[in-house]
């Protein structure tokens, strides 16, 4: 590798504590403004220059550039899934070789490691950092900016947490959410049930049709996850809603699934259905990461690559044909859960890995 990280683990943990203790739940604009300012301050403190807050309807994104011809984009997000007050119940803690607290693994730890890794490079020209405010809720406000900077830079390193065992994420499924809304007609469940159109029964038919769309042999999962119907126990329900999680590995499957949802038809006479949603994050094929992963293995020969089911902003950049390597962030686990943790002993190595990749890409 290029050289030993100058900053101590203690310094990285200090910055991690700073970011974790500014809670940043998605869609909370006041909290996200405070979080963006904290991220910008850490970047400026360690790397110099100016980190610009890019306003959006979802909260501020943070963009920093070292100047020079764009070469590599360091991509992350500062929003988390945890509501305000989580920190009080689960404060930032360092114990038994682990750091815990809301967002340490997904993905504040990765941001800190990348910043400290870049700080070891004497020449950072061509490097950009983009830290978005809405990754956990679909990246609707940040996607265009992500794609613009990815195309400008030509290569992307994504600081999402590592795969199980510390591996990098070399492929990701495309993912999306669909909502199927059913409209029937209410009637008295005891006096005249036949006068109604039972939205719950129609929704049950739809759930079976939808579940049958899955093709596990092709990596396609179609999973109804949330359903609601009815108002009172003696009323034929007039409305029902089904929400469905979809994951696909190929563009062909994305097209098939979206077409199948558009073609859903009611089973009951006079029932109506409406479908919203799409596979919003396109698949990230392993071919998108192959070149960068080979460089990473030169730096860490025992490094493994894994294709995973979850999506990230790397899906967007890979779909543009921009070389993209994901999972370069914290080693740990428990994303989105109360047992979320970061392995402190891996922080220096991961910071070095990011710096080594950037150095190799800039000198290629």
Whole-angstrom CA distances from 247 to 17, 94, 128, 211, 285 are 34, 35, 30, 12, 13
Task: Output phi, psi for 278, to 5 deg.
Answer: -170, 170
Give the pairing of strands 127-132 and 156-158: unpaired
Active-site amino acid positions: 79, 135
Task: Indicate the SS3 state at residue 245.
Answer: strand
Q: Is 327 exposed, middle or buried (0-12, 13-18, 19+ CB in 10 A)?
A: buried
Whole-angstrom CA distances from 214 to 101, 224, 253, 257, 281 are 36, 11, 10, 9, 18
Dist CA 350 CA 77 (whole Å): 18
Strand partners, 220: 215
Contacts of 156 (CB under 8 A, 6+ apart): 72, 73, 75, 150, 314, 317, 318, 322, 323, 324, 325
- Give the relative orientation of helices 109-118 and 9-20 as an angle to the nearest 10 degrees: 140
- To the nearest 10°, report the CA torsion of 354, 356, 357, 358: 80
Q: Which helix (H) or strand (E) holds 182?
A: strand 174-183
Contacts of 240 (CB under 8 A, 6+ apart): 181, 182, 184, 199, 200, 202, 203, 227, 228, 229, 230
Kindly report the number of other CB atoms within 10 A of residue 81's CB atom.
Answer: 17
């Amino acid at each position: 590798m290029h050289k030993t990280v100058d900053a101590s683990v203690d310094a990285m943990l200090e910055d991690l504590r700073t970011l974790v203790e500014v809670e940043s739940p998605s869609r909370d604009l006041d909290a996200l403004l405070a979080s963006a300012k904290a991220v910008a301050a850490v970047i400026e403190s360690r790397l110099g220059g100016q980190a610009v807050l890019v306003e959006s309807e979802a909260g501020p994104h943070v963009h920093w550039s070292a100047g020079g011809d764009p070469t590599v984009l360091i991509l992350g997000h500062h929003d988390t899934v945890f509501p305000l007050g989580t920190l009080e119940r689960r404060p930032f803690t360092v114990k038994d070789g682990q750091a815990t607290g809301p967002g340490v693994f997904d993905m504040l730890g990765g941001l800190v490691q990348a910043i400290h890794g870049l700080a070891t490079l004497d020449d950072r020209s061509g490097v950009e950092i983009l830290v978005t405010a809405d990754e956990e809720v679909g990246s609707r406000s940040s996607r265009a900016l992500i794609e613009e900077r990815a195309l400008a830079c030509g290569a992307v390193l994504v600081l999402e947490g590592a795969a199980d065992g510390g591996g990098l994420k070399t492929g990701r499924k495309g993912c999306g959410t669909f909502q199927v809304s059913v409209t029937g007609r209410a009637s008295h469940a005891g006096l005249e049930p036949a006068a109604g159109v039972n939205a719950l029964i129609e929704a049950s038919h739809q759930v079976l049709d939808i579940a049958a769309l899955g093709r596990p042999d092709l990596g396609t999962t179609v999973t109804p996850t949330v359903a609601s119907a009815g108002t009172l126990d003696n009323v034929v329900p007039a409305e029902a809603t089904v929400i469905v999680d979809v994951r696909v590995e190929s563009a062909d499957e994305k097209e098939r699934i979206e077409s199948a949802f558009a073609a859903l038809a009611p089973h009951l006479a006079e029932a109506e259905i409406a479908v919203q949603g799409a596979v919003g994050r396109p698949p990230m094929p392993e071919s998108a990461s192959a070149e960068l992963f080979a460089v990473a293995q030169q730096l860490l020969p025992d490094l493994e690559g894994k294709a995973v089911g979850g999506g990230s902003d790397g899906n967007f950049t890979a779909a543009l044909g921009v070389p993209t390597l994901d999972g370069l962030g914290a080693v740990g686990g428990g994303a989105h859960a109360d047992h979320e943790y970061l392995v402190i002993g891996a922080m220096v190595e991961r910071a070095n890995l990011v710096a080594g990749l950037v150095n190799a890409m800039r000198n290629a």
